[in-house]
Amino acid sequence: MMQGKTHKQHGSAVPHWKWQRWSAMLTLPLMVYCVYLLGGLVSLDYEAARQLIAAPSTALPLAVLITAGMFHAALGIAVIIEDYVPLARGRNGLILCARIALGGIALVSLTALALITF
């Protein structure tokens, strides 16, 4: 029998992997929609562009994109930090800082979208 630590002792990476894949599957079509939307904004003046963004059919997908995108980014950055920062104490602090920063970006982005929409 194998000796040493098993995957159960370290904690399984499968839930993290599943969340990363689900957020990627959600983010990809929303990014395609966002690129399509940005292409349509080129010919619009400021007020028409603002009205387009304020429409519920546009604002809701953008809000979901912001939320899912920042969640996906937080998961990805955590993996990068875990792989390349050697000290556990340093890793945890950097992961926390990254999550706070990405949460702040999401909050500011959603607030800006809400101000445009309402």
Could you state, in order of their start, the residue ranges of all structural domains in the chain?
A: 12-117
Convert the pLDDT of each residue in 52-111 to its tens digit: 999 999 999 999 999 999 999 999 999 999 999 888 678 989 999 999 999 999 999 999
Q: Name residue 112's amino acid.
A: A
Topology adopted by domain 12-117: 3 helical TM bundles of succinate and fumarate reductases (1.20.1300)
Specify burial of residue 37 (Cβ count, 10 A radius: 0-12, 13-18, 19+): middle
Contact 52, 44 (CB under 8 A): yes
CA distance 93 to 80: 14
Which residue in the block uniquely carries the two structure tokens 């690129």?
A: 35
In this prediction the pTM is 0.84
> Which long-range contacts does 37-46 make (Cβ < 8 Å, 24+ apart)?
37/62
